[in-house]
Structure 1
Amino acid sequence: MRLTVLTFFLFLSLTGMSQTGRETRIDSLENALKIAEHDTTRVNILSELARNYGGIDSLKCFENGFKAIALSKKINYLRGMADANINLAGGYLDYFDVENAKKYFRIGNNFADKLIAKDSSARNMKIWLRGNYNLGVAYGYEGNVDKEIEYVAKTIPIAQQMGDKMFVANGNTNLAIKYNNMARFDKAYEMFEISQEQFKEIGEPEDILYHSLSFATSLAQMDSLDRMKSVLDIAKTNLDKIPNSFYEGLYFGELGFYYGRSGKFDKALKALDRSSEYYKDHKSNYYFKLLYQRYADIYDKMGDFKKAKAYTLKYINFTDEEHSINDKVGSYYKLANYEAGLNRYQQAYNYLKEYVTALDSVRASELENDMQELEIQYKTATKEKEILSLKNEKSETALALEKKKSQNYMLWAIASVLSLILFIGYYGYNSQLRKARKKEQQQETEVSTLKQEQQNQLFSAMIEGQENERKRLAIDLHDGLGGRLSGISLNLSKLDKDEPKEYPKAQLKKVMKDLDDALTELRTIARNMMPETLVKFGLKAALKDYCSSRTGNETKVTLQFYGSEQGIDLNQQVTMYRIMQELINNAIKHAKASEILVQFIKDDTKIDITVEDNGIGFKEETLVDKEDGMGISNLKTRVAYLKGNLEFHSEVNEGTTVNVQITLDAT
């Protein structure tokens, strides 16, 4: 029973945990797909739709997944091929098609390996982690627990280095479940304790609820009832925070299990009744099989053998895949005891025969192997006895002396060989250790040097950008505003020199107009230095204001802003504003675009900025030649300051798409 219960919880971790808010996410993705203008954007949205439809609508899951794969191949989009294949594999896993799941996980993981070899950014590493982790889960579905643990243990340290705390917490919980299934309770308990602290730090109520129910079930197997109750109390606290929770039936099922183990049978039955009520419209649900067994155990302890028998029959006749032999052995033995307790000895005898038959089938193969081993041992012993008898006929004394000499020689030879092996091993180990330390020191020195070079380059680029900005500001002030103020000064001097007899209305009107123009130009320069709207009202308002100002008869600039500025400090907002300002100016000035789409999407600590235009485009291999004219160097500097990633996708006469990905934690 331990194996089936905890495997069931593992399945929940892959499906039920992602239901919250999924419908809203799907609607948002469907709407985004309708307005997407570029193939890479369509691939990303189709792949996410396949992932979100998994477990909800198989037709749409596979339809979107295969579309994403086909489009990725067409445009040779490596990231899309990795992500789409892995998400499609996840869809097959949701519907228990393990063979196809493993097939597409392997394909996706191959692409993911190539992807991170080129670019090991956090965004790409998360795809690699998801693919390898879930391939391990697929092996677990087949019962290959060792293989599953191998993949889980492979991915968790990398996720930990990346700072993906939720991935690490879920991975540790699932490792704990697997160790418990292997009866390694000390290791299971250790992993549950670790993941419990991690979920307390970063988990939502539903995450903590999943972990607590898994932990409680494991504690029941360890007979740690006091600890089980404290963990169930944590589960109840978080269950109360989630109306109509997916885990309500599971919680009361585990609570009934606890009360049954504690001898509080009335409370146990009430808890199991609440769990059954939750699943009443889904009686084919696998958890019902577990509930039948728990009802039977409680009625057995209460001495109500009639009800215990009824629930055991429901358990063994449950319409799922065929029961294991061990399942049948245990169930028939219990049925025989129940019938005996009801004084129905004939029926008890019949069930006992079924029990013996099932038990014999379990032992048959074991007995056959034991018999073969005994036969080999017998033949070997007989042959050795014959040889010994022949030798004894010649000379028992000579045999004893020879045997003693042989033993002495053998012991000496073994001792010599062991000493030699130990010496060689010790010398080899020290040699390898010295090489490894030396190599590690060299690598640390190289990494430190590279980091210093990168920091120096970034600092130089920032200084150069500041100097260019100062030069531009000086030119604006000297040629623009300075020229206007010089003209105003000349006009006023002339007016004073001429000493007009009448009120110089026309001349003063011209001076006032020049002053107004100078003030307007001064405000423009000031706004370029630090947008007033950004400081007062935030990034969204500043972008909206700027996009409106750049929209005219020949150019339309559209802004789509999702999320809020919360969690982004002012320096980061100004830098993001400058990035989008530069990209919009490039689209108008260099690409001669008539339509520009600006997207800003903030999801937790992840920010995606996309600027698409329908301009003249360019060949991506000529991007280095365009750095000075398009301000690409300044763009790269600002993105590097935010520790983000910058990507260009362009074709001649097909427009340009620029993507910027930023993780706030990294900055």
Structure 2
Amino acid sequence: MRFLYNIIYTLLLTLLSAAGYAQVVEDSLRKIVSQPRLPLEQRIDAMDRLGQVVFFNKGWNEGLEVLRSSIALSAPMKDGRYRARTYGMMAASCFIAGESQAAYRYLDSAQFYIRRSNSGLIKGYVLYMKGWMESRDHKETDAIRTLQQALDVLEKEPEGLKYRQAVYSELAGVYFKWYDLMNVEKYTRLSLEAALRMNELEKKISATQERGGYFLNLYRTDESRKPALDSALFYMQHSLNLARNNRDRLVTPSNIPFSAIGIANIFLDHFPATAANKDSVDYYNNIALDESRKTRQFTVEAGVYNTLANIAMDRGDYNDAIAHLHNAIATSMKDPLFDKFNLSQSYLVLANAYELKRDTAMALFNYKQYMDLYRELFDVEKMNKAKDLEARYEMAHKERALLEVKLLAEQRNRELIQARYLSGIKDKQLLEAQYAAVVKDKALLNAKYASEVQQKALDSANFKTTQREQELKTIGERFAYNRKLNKIYAVLTVALLLAAAFLYYAFQQRSKALRQRQQLHNLELDRISQEHRMTVLSAMLEGQEQERTRLARDLHDGLGGLLSGVKIELSAIHQPATTTPQQAVVQKTMGHLDNAVEELRRIARSMMPEVLLNYGLGEAIREFCNGLKKSGVPVSCQVFNYRDDMSPSRQVTLYRIMQELVNNAVKHAAAKEILVQLQQRGNRIFLVVEDDGKGFDTAQLHALKGAGLANIQSRVEILQGTLEVESSPGTGSAFTIECAVN
């Protein structure tokens, strides 16, 4: 039981590190945090995750320092959710590091700041952290109450599943300690279902391992339940295979040693001691030992040494057993939250080993160590058992009171239903009596009225019979005539309405067709105009590039060769040994020729750089920026993931856009720093040019457009890309061009 509780204990520590894949995630998070334009909320979230990754993979102090930086970063935020979450992480981290007083101070801070926020998700997270610490501080009753409160809050949140899974796991750990298998089954099942719904690897691994622990304890209560043992072994092996097959994706792969030692103990304790089973024990013990050393899981490492010592004792190799036990004791002492029971058992077995070797002094020394730990552990266990009994009594008392309340309510409901039934019967009888009286009164009235009618009919029958027959005949003829006339009117009205509806529908359809035809015509004209304009722009820019290439070649081959020839002729008359004024003039003229040749080459490279044609856009941008930097321009260049798979014409167009933007920043922005960044993401190219210069109002962008910005916009349209401009007076400017590779 204690071994399984330790498994759940360390697994829950692992749940606090919900980051990504160790070093890869750390590097990614550091890159995210370093972004200058990252919103503050995203920066705080990235800092929190970075602190967790550093804490569990590099060092406790380094991780806590990152979290403190996150707290300072969130100070301006009015919503307290950010500081509450970070303080909750710091509380758990300090508790793991053995600093319980600091942990409770941070927890108080988290509870203070969550009252300044309406976030139910973070409130549930803070309650989960509180219950997590209460459980490890032997306050199981308070822990269950707090964790149930966390579930009540998180069940109302759409994104609360990730924290609910951790709460289920924590409740399973508490009930594991109480050996309440009914609740252990419930919460391990809910934890595994939530982990599978989230599809998060580490949560699936730990939840699967917890489920295996439940089936193992179920088997221990009744060893006739062989399927329970098979299920325990299945879930443990599935957890181990899932962790080992995805080890490079785990931030804290501590599930591997815990699953391995759990499987080794199942084979050792519950399977026959055959050669194959002994090999399985050795195989899984080696995995547990190797992985526990890598992940600093001291509890598992000490447990493996204790198991190896017991095996050595069984075969009579006391020296080997003593060596393993010393390793177990030294490993247990490294853990700030070491298990005193396992340590005491190590001392006891070590005392027995020395006694069997007839080393009485060492046996007595280790037995004293065992007794000191046992007395301390016995006092703690008595106190914990008393708390468990008190908690169970309190829960039973509450359940009994609840049952009494439910029974009383059910009795009252039954009495109320019976009273309502009797009242309904009385009301029905009264209504039936009233209805019978009304029926009698109506019958009397009808009889009286019929008698009066008959009397009047008899009085006037002799005088009006002929007259009524004539009137009835006239009325019948008139009614038949009116009925025919009404039918004719109705038919004509319906026909007129149908005709009007048909005409209106035809008119609407014709109008709609004309509008659609006109719209299609306008769209076609716009498309033709756009294609014509793009063709003209493309031809113009292509002609410019061809002219640049021709001029660069003519300058380099023609004028460059001429200047070089002049220099060679002057060199023939230059005599370094003489110092006449004429020689000085010649020497000075040759220096000017060198400068002219260098300037000519620079102009030729600027008009059509050879590195762009030979090595691609990335190297051309780097060379352009390096040339400017050598001339004193404060420009820096970054190229990420560029694969050089653009067509040459598109590379030249993008290079001209970069040249124009940098030249504008140098000429007009008075910038102290210019950044040029080229990045490729899949089939998309991103070119960013930023400066910290004077900036301008983007609302006046169209009014400010000169030939340079117009050329840039034209080239972006040729690339079928987009241009985004971010600037304001005094804050610099940022131009972002996005286009497809081809």
> Which TM-score applies when normalising by structure 1?
0.49
Q: Computing the radius of gyration over CA atoms, which structure comes out larger, 1 or 2?
A: 2
> Which TM-score applies when normalising by structure 2?
0.45
